[in-house]
Amino acid sequence: MNRYDNRRVLITGAGSGIGQATTLRILAEGGTVVGADISEAGLADTVSKAGADVERLHTVTVDIADEGSVKEGVAEAISILGGLDALVNAAGILRSSHTATTSLESFEQVIRINLVGTFLVIREALPALQEGASAAVVNFSSTSAGFAHPYMAAYAASKGGVQSMTHALAAEYSKGGIRFTSVQPGSISSGMTSGTGKSGQSVGPGLPDDTDYSLLMKLQPMLGEGFASPDSVAGVVAMLASEDGAFITGTEIRIDGGTHA
């Protein structure tokens, strides 16, 4: 299935986790991709995993929290691709802490990267997307945007913002030929959720030493035997940004194995 033949895609967060999995999936379906990430080592790892598809993969180093870096990186990506048909905003960070002891700097860092960074990339990509074919933007929200995830107030706030922004953009550009959707990953094994709690459950990095793990027990999926791989999300993202998602906009899809059923 080559849904992405002659389709030009920019993917942020392409150096690891779901962003990397999405990059490899869209390459496998024939797309030409620019993978963006703050980590050069991460991008190199993605290149090493691209196999025969590597000839259609290009990379740019971008710090999405920095406006100047985003302007330069997105412009470079569009120049390389000769235009833009789809944008996937997978870059983001997760920080866990007691809200009472969370510093303003830490809270603002999460908002800056996850929410403001997503906005900056979209803003710079919009002119090219308006000229693209069946243009689509897939943003990354989270199950934390609508369900209680303790110790993750900043992350939840940032992802709730991304989700609301996605709805607003879908309406604003509904007659401009650009679709906006978001995915809500949950119970997915990636760099963000690499921590391990009691009983071996994966619960995310940096949890407080006195974490009450009983508050996290409901964050376990019903399907499978634990957290799913990033590929579980990559396939859904690939659908949304392709012609198969041509009648989908202004909504989100939850991918959590029934954790929040």
Q: Which of the residues 4, 151, 155, 173 is marked catalytic?
A: 155
Active site residue 155: yes
Distance between CA atoms of residues 255 and 110, nearest Å: 22
Distance between CA atoms of residues 92 and 118, nearest Å: 9
What does the DSSP assignment read for the chain? --TTTT-EEEEETTTSHHHHHHHHHHHHTT-EEEEEES-HHHHHHHHHH-GGGGGGEEEEE--TT-HHHHHHHHHHHHHHHTS-SEEEE---------GGG--HHHHHHHHIIIIIHHHHHHHHHHHHHHTSSSEEEEEE--GGGTS--TT-HHHHHHHHHHHHHHHHHHHHTTTTTEEEEEEEE-SB-SGGG--B-GGG-B--TT--TT--GGGTGGGS-SSTTSPBPTHHHHHHHHHHTSGGGTT--SEEEEESTTTT-
What does the DSSP assignment read for 185-199? E-SB-SGGG--B-GG
Annotated active-site positions, please? 155
